[in-house]
Structure 1
Amino acid sequence: MSSLRAKIQDVFNEPACENNRGKDAKARKEGCSKPLTPGAAAGGCAFDGAKIVLQPIADVAHLVHGPLACEGNSWDNRGAASSGPTLWRTSFTTDLTELDVVMGQGERKLFKAIREIKEAYGPPAIFVYSTCVTALIGDDIEAVCKRAAAKFDLAVVPVNAPGFVGSKNLGNKLAGEALLEHVIGAVEPDDAGPYDINILGEFNLSGEFWLVKPLLDRLGIRVRACIPGDARYLDIAGAHRARAAMMVCSTALINLARKMDERWDIPFFEGSFYGITDTSDALRNIAELLVKQGADPEILGRTEALIAEEEAIAWKKLAAYRPRLEGKRVLLNTGGVKSWSVVHALMEIGIEIVGTSVKKSTVEDKERIKQILKNDNHMFEQMAPRELYAMLSERKADILLSGGRTQFIALKAKTPWLDINQERQHPYAGYHGMVELVRQIDLAIHNPIWRQVREPAPWDCQPAVRQELPRTKNKTATLHAVQEFAGTTAGNFGEC
């Protein structure tokens, strides 16, 4: 546990974080994230954060050392996609029980599980995750992993991020520390080149990185490692030979980017692939960094030519949506890089931003929002469900872009909603992704169902005059009576 404390303290004292540098020594020790409230860590503990960062590594077996519920809580918690291996979709757990805890069988059970995975699947590596239970009873997963690696001639990586040590964001960073300590640099690639880059913090949600990679391929830029989206173990193990890096989500892996720069001279910048302008800027920054690292300057001209071509295609497609969406009001209830990159992307086609959440955003993210929106009146740390419902029901926004947890608030307010978080079904990155995002917003806003559900229910339209149907024994007379009744009462229903 002493080594874990040292890692946590190192992560808290992150010098690359501008927010952290502005604190005094006492405040810096408390870290960048709020401490967890006991009982309120579901879906947001350090273990969950570590699993989010590492599980998309597709050809690795991810073994959770703890009770069964821990693996159930974190399995497939993001919509990441793989272009090949499916081993990452298989759940592995030691399924620790009360009897195992009492009898001290945890470490033995872990070693046996590693052996079974090696024999049955033969993966290039096994990642072993500690949990609250195994950390509290003192199971030394690092010693077990070291012994198993030597015994089975296999990379066995301990991920020491039990849930109780902190928030999900802390778990993200501890996962980065595990990669630095046990994976990156473990393999020396024989094909390193001057156009190799790393992409950090890209999760390939709904396969959206596959919309960006072809652009890099056309420029002759090779993504040596995308961490973690659609990654392979050997790619990450040789990531230290890249010449430059782009960091997509700084709050998750800023420590990884900084330490790779310090150890292997891999400069990085933070960028976004959401929106036309931001995608173009990201491509320019990648090319400029490579040139500074020794690449041929001719790549700058090729990059500008590619940008001009792709922007022309994208703007031509977006022109069809501008008359339908210009002036429409969007409320964003998300966080991180999306709090500013999506704002910028939507404003490019004339959509008005009435508000964006900044709960999970860094100080740098908030500054970008201020520059884009020209003020901070549309920024909110968090909005209570009641306030969010009131804003939507009063029609202050035409659509809500958020995660799945707030979709029912929008539906109750009879307001269009679009998933912008990790559960989404459509890729929104790059030029084509921006067109797809605008298309989905257009479909949601102009869906005729919203006009129908906003109309009063039929049972709210009561007749102003009630008449009783005349009684008669003759069928013909009855039919005439019904027709007469319908004719005399047709105009006597109240207005809805």
Structure 2
Amino acid sequence: MSSLRAKIQDVFNEPACEQNRGKDAKARKKGCSKPLTPGAAAGGCAFDGAKIVLQPITDVAHLIHAPLACEGNSWDNRGAASSGPTLWRTSFTTDLTELDVVMGQGERKLFKAIREIKEAYWPPAIFVYPTCVTALIGDDIEAVCKRAAEKFGLPVVPVNAPGFVGSKNLGNKLAGEALLDHVIGTVEPDDAGPYDINILGEFNLSGEFWLVKPLLDRLGIRVRACIPGDARYLDIASAHRARAAMMVCSTALINLARKMEQRWDIPFFEGSFYGITDTSEALRQISQLLVKKGADPEILGRTEALIADEEAIAWTKLAAYRPRLEGKRVLLNTGGVKSWSVVHALMEIGIEIVGTSVKKSTVEDKERIKHILKDDNHMFEQMAARELYAMLSEQKADIMLSGGRTQFIALKAKTPWLDINQERQHPYAGYDGMVELVRQIDLAIHNPIWCQVREPAPWDCQPAVREELPRTKSETATLHAVQEFASTMADDFGEF
């Protein structure tokens, strides 16, 4: 536990983070994440964060050393996609019971599980995740993994991020530390070239990185490792021979990017593949970094030619949607890189941003939003469900873009909603992804169902009362006769 404590303090003291650099030594040790409330996940524990970062490594066996519930709650928690291996979709757990804990059988059971996985699947590596239970009872995960690696002849990587040590974001960074300590730099590639790059913090949600990779292929740029989206173990192990890196989500793996720059002189920048302008700028910066590292400067011209062609195609496609969406108001309830990159992307086609959440955004992200929106009046740290509902029900926004947890607020307010988070079904990265995002927004806003659901329900509509007309003499006589007959029948059959 002492080594884990030292690792956590090292992660908190992140010099690449501008917010951290502005703190004094005492405040820096507390880190950026709020402490967890006992019994509450607070958006995910450290174990969950580590699993998020590492599970998309598709050919690795991910073994959870814990009771069954830990694996059940964390499995398949992101919509990452794979172009090949499917081993990452198989759940592996030691399934500890109370008897195992009492009898001290945890380490023995873990070693046996590693052997079974190796004999049944022969993966290139096995990642082992301790959780709260196994960390509290003192199982020496690192010793077991070291012994198993020697015995079975394959890498067995301990990912020391039990849930109780902190938040999901801390778990993201501890996963990066595990890659640095046990994976990256362990394999020397025989095909390293001047156009090799790493992409960090890209999860390939709904396969959206596959919309970006063809652009890099056309420029002759090879992605040595995309960490973690659609990754392979050997690619990550040889990632130290890349010439440059792009960091997509700084809050998750900024420590990985900084330490790879320190150890192997791999410069990095933070960028985004959301939106036309940001995608073009990311391609430019990748080419510029490669040239600084020795690539032929002619790649800069080829990059500008590619950008010109792709932007012309994308703007032509988007022109059909501008008359239908220009002036529409969007409420963005998300965080991280999407809080600023999606804002910029939507404003490019004339959509108005009435509010954006910055709960999971870094200081740099917030500054970008201020620059894009020209003020911070549309930024909110956190908005309660009641406030979200009030804003939508008062029709201050035409659509809300958020994650699945707030979709029912929008639906209750009879407002269109689109999933922008990891559970989404459509890829939104790159030029084609931007066109798809706009198409989905147009479909949601102009869906004819909203005209129907906003109409009053039939049972809420009171029928108009028809003014009673005066009766004729014959009608009055008929009514009296019916009333006398009913009265007679009641007298005759009343005793029954």
TM-score, normalised to structure 2's length? 0.94
Q: Deviations over 1:408-438 (max 9, x none)?
A: 0000000000000000000000000000000
Could you say which residue in structure 2 is the equivalent of 1:318? 318
Structure 1 residue 480 displacement after superposition: 22
In structure 2, distance between residues paired with 1:243 and 1:157: 26
Against the structure 1 CA distance between its residues 487 and 135, is the aligned structure 2 distance closer, same or farther, given a 3 Å change threshold?
A: farther
Query: Which one has a bigger Cα radius of gyration?
Result: 2
Against the structure 1 CA distance between its residues 475 and 325, is the aligned structure 2 distance closer, same or farther, given a 3 Å change threshold?
A: farther
Secondary structure at 1:327's aligned position in 2?
A: coil
Structure 1 residue 463 displacement after superposition: 1.5
Asked if the contact 1:71/1:93 (under 8 Å) is kept, the reply is: yes
Could you say which residue in structure 1 is the equivalent of 2:24? 24
TM-score, normalised to structure 1's length? 0.94
Against the structure 1 CA distance between its residues 475 and 382, is the aligned structure 2 distance closer, same or farther, given a 3 Å change threshold?
A: same
Structure 1 residue 465 displacement after superposition: 2.0
Deviates more, 1:215-224 or 1:453-462: 453-462
Q: Deviations over 1:381-402 (max 9, x none)?
A: 0000000000000000000000
Secondary structure at 1:332's aligned position in 2?
A: strand
Q: Deviations over 1:105-143 (max 9, x none)?
A: 000000000000000000000000010000000000000
In structure 1, distance between residues paired with 2:404 and 2:491: 45
In structure 1, distance between residues paired with 2:316 and 2:488: 57
Paired residues, number: 496
Superposed CA RMSD: 6.4
Identity over aligned residues, as a percent?
93
In structure 2, distance between residues paired with 1:495 and 1:117: 85
Structure 1 residue 488 displacement after superposition: 32
Asked if the contact 1:247/1:271 (under 8 Å) is kept, the reply is: yes
In structure 2, distance between residues paired with 1:452 and 1:485: 49
Secondary structure at 1:492's aligned position in 2?
A: helix
Against the structure 1 CA distance between its residues 152 and 355, is the aligned structure 2 distance closer, same or farther, given a 3 Å change threshold?
A: same
Could you say which residue in structure 2 is the equivalent of 1:362? 362
Where structure 2 has 5 or more consecutive residues not aligned to the other structure, the ranges are: none
In structure 2, distance between residues paired with 1:269 and 1:492: 98
In structure 2, distance between residues paired with 1:493 and 1:469: 34
Against the structure 1 CA distance between its residues 334 and 480, is the aligned structure 2 distance closer, same or farther, given a 3 Å change threshold?
A: farther
Asked if the contact 1:465/1:489 (under 8 Å) is kept, the reply is: no
Asked if the contact 1:65/1:93 (under 8 Å) is kept, the reply is: yes
Against the structure 1 CA distance between its residues 73 and 454, is the aligned structure 2 distance closer, same or farther, given a 3 Å change threshold?
A: same
In structure 2, distance between residues paired with 1:15 and 1:487: 96
1:249 aligns with 2:249: yes
Structure 1 residue 464 displacement after superposition: 1.9
Could you say which residue in structure 1 is the equivalent of 2:330? 330
Asked if the contact 1:471/1:478 (under 8 Å) is kept, the reply is: no
In structure 2, distance between residues paired with 1:80 and 1:489: 78
Asked if the contact 1:464/1:493 (under 8 Å) is kept, the reply is: no
Asked if the contact 1:211/1:432 (under 8 Å) is kept, the reply is: yes
Against the structure 1 CA distance between its residues 491 and 28, is the aligned structure 2 distance closer, same or farther, given a 3 Å change threshold?
A: farther
Asked if the contact 1:463/1:494 (under 8 Å) is kept, the reply is: no
In structure 2, distance between residues paired with 1:494 and 1:196: 99
Against the structure 1 CA distance between its residues 376 and 119, is the aligned structure 2 distance closer, same or farther, given a 3 Å change threshold?
A: same
In structure 2, distance between residues paired with 1:436 and 1:409: 24
Against the structure 1 CA distance between its residues 479 and 388, is the aligned structure 2 distance closer, same or farther, given a 3 Å change threshold?
A: farther
Against the structure 1 CA distance between its residues 214 and 103, is the aligned structure 2 distance closer, same or farther, given a 3 Å change threshold?
A: same
Asked if the contact 1:61/1:87 (under 8 Å) is kept, the reply is: yes
Asked if the contact 2:36/2:42 (under 8 Å) is kept, the reply is: no
Against the structure 1 CA distance between its residues 104 and 456, is the aligned structure 2 distance closer, same or farther, given a 3 Å change threshold?
A: same
In structure 1, distance between residues paired with 2:208 and 2:351: 23
Against the structure 1 CA distance between its residues 42 and 30, is the aligned structure 2 distance closer, same or farther, given a 3 Å change threshold?
A: closer
